[in-house]
Chains A and B, each alone.
Chain A
């Protein structure tokens, strides 16, 4: 059971090592000419006047929250899918109720305008 994941661990260690080497090595072999302009964030040639971490549209927060709600519900669907053949009509009926509740939630956020972007 856990032994299924042991090869995975080896794989991840090797790949992360590869990534770190690929980032560190060019630092030594690439040229280096310090330049004040190169230290600025790129803004199409205009000198940046302030940092980038400012307020952004609330729609992104909304999307993230809706994603969590729907994705957690999707997690319940996966095990159901695998054993549906032994649950038969009982399983279909149960998931029908579950999806109906999910759809009510979707229709609600849709009607509330949470899926609209911009004004």
Chain B
């Protein structure tokens, strides 16, 4: 019992530190990659190659004055960013960063995940549903028109794409026969699911990008029309928590994509240890995120909703049935 508590606390500290670092450097990574794609230099003044830029941004946000509309709902206004952040971080507990054998430290067997529940991916779906609350409550509690419109748009968008997100993973469940992420990665030892289930992978990525409100689906934060969407009235550290939640959600979507479709910790020829393959794949998916943002223009809102309901939903159902037929047909 004590061992479980101590090990979990250490893991929590590592994940907290790792995800905060990932968040800080993902902001820099995004700015630098976008700058290069547009033939600019990007941030390069703070520290060598601009590597201390995230630290400078963090210190600035920490010392900002706290202010907000006087008519705000004070409790919900503060609860919303904490909820968004907690949901984003908690999703990482089910992700196995390596395997298949446990890590052995001083005679203790330590697993490569915080928890391996039998509901596995369903827990991730539950958390993405909860994520909607953080954003909607932020928009509602601010009592500002831009915030409310941003929150409404954002929640409608997120719930619409959540179905395609969930259904796009059903083919993986069919082939792997389990919800546990560890079992799903182990089933990909010879073939990554991204190869036979390519359409499902593409649907998952589109839905995942829409779910995290990133370009080209960044309607909730369409700065030309809604200023900053649901976090218009947030400043300083409270804004930083939303920002953190958004970037960590990108890391989560990339991690889940890695686990479900890209073979998780398995790499060809076994030349690198598991965690490095995992990291490499997550960074590759994150690069696609940034690349898309630098390439594609934003969708119109009605087009966005129609893409979700009229295209992705029927396509993910069709992909699901096709996988079921093929899997049963080739089964001995």
Contact of B170 among A23, A27, A78 (CB under 8 A): A78
Any chain A CB within 8 A of the CB of B206? Answer: no
User: Which chain B residues (67-83) contact chain A, with CB distance < 8 Å?
Assistant: 67, 69-71, 78, 81-82
Any chain A CB within 8 A of the CB of B283? Answer: no
Q: How far is the CA of A70 from the CA of B282 in the complex (A)?
A: 30
Any chain A CB within 8 A of the CB of B310? Answer: yes
Interface centre among A40, A51, A82 (most CB of B within 10 A): A82
CB nearest to A7 among chain B residues:
B8
The interface size bin for chain A is 35 or more
CB nearest to B305 among chain A residues:
A117
Whether A67 lies near B162 (C-beta < 8 A) is yes
Whether B331 lies near A88 (C-beta < 8 A) is yes
Q: How far is the CA of A33 from the CA of B8 in the complex (A)?
A: 42
Contact of B144 among A14, A41, A96, A116 (CB under 8 A): A41
Q: How far is the CA of A83 from the CA of B170 in the complex (A)?
A: 12
Whether A53 lies near B140 (C-beta < 8 A) is yes
Q: How far is the CA of A70 from the CA of B317 in the complex (A)?
A: 12
Q: How far is the CA of A12 from the CA of B301 in the complex (A)?
A: 34
CB nearest to A81 among chain B residues:
B173
Give B92-123 as 1s and 0s: 1 = Cβ < 8 Å from A's Cβ atoms.
01000000000000000000001111100010
User: Which chain A residues (5-62) contact chain B, with CB distance < 8 Å?
Assistant: 5-8, 10-12, 14-16, 18-20, 22-23, 25-27, 29-33, 35, 38-44, 48, 51-53, 56, 59-60
Whether A11 lies near B305 (C-beta < 8 A) is no
Whether A63 lies near B159 (C-beta < 8 A) is yes
Whether A91 lies near B324 (C-beta < 8 A) is yes
Any chain A CB within 8 A of the CB of B52? Answer: no
Any chain B CB within 8 A of the CB of A104? Answer: no
In the complex, what's the smallest C-beta–C-beta distance from B121 to chain A, in angstroms?
8
For B160, the chain A residues whose CB sits under 8 A away are: 63, 67
Whether B321 lies near A96 (C-beta < 8 A) is yes
For A33, the chain B residues whose CB sits under 8 A away are: 65
In the complex, what's the smallest C-beta–C-beta distance from A82 to chain B, in angstroms?
6
Interface centre among A26, A102, A115 (most CB of B within 10 A): A26
For A77, the chain B residues whose CB sits under 8 A away are: 167, 170, 320
Known: A8-B93, A23-B238, A115-B306. A89 touches B328 (CB 8 A): yes
Q: How far is the CA of A54 from the CA of B103 in the complex (A)?
A: 55
For B241, the chain A residues whose CB sits under 8 A away are: 19, 22-23
Stretch in B27-35, B37-45, B145-153, B263-271 touching the partner: B145-153
Any chain A CB within 8 A of the CB of B89? Answer: yes
For B67, the chain A residues whose CB sits under 8 A away are: 35, 38-39
Give B201-230 as 1s and 0s: 1 = Cβ < 8 Å from A's Cβ atoms.
000000000000000000000000001000
For A40, the chain B residues whose CB sits under 8 A away are: 69-70
Stretch in B174-182, B191-199, B273-281, B290-298 touching the partner: B174-182
Whether B159 lies near A64 (C-beta < 8 A) is yes
Whether B317 lies near A56 (C-beta < 8 A) is no
Whether A14 lies near B9 (C-beta < 8 A) is yes
B contact set with A: CB distance below 8 Å = 4-5, 8-9, 11-13, 15-16, 61-67, 69-71, 78, 81-82, 85-86, 89-90, 93, 114-118, 122, 140, 142-149, 152, 156, 159-160, 162-163, 166-167, 170-171, 173-174, 177-179, 227, 232-233, 236-238, 240-241, 301-302, 305-306, 309-310, 313-314, 317, 320-321, 324-325, 327-328, 331
9 A-B residue pairings within 8 Å (CB atoms) = A4-B117, A14-B13, A18-B85, A20-B82, A31-B65, A32-B65, A67-B159, A81-B320, A115-B310
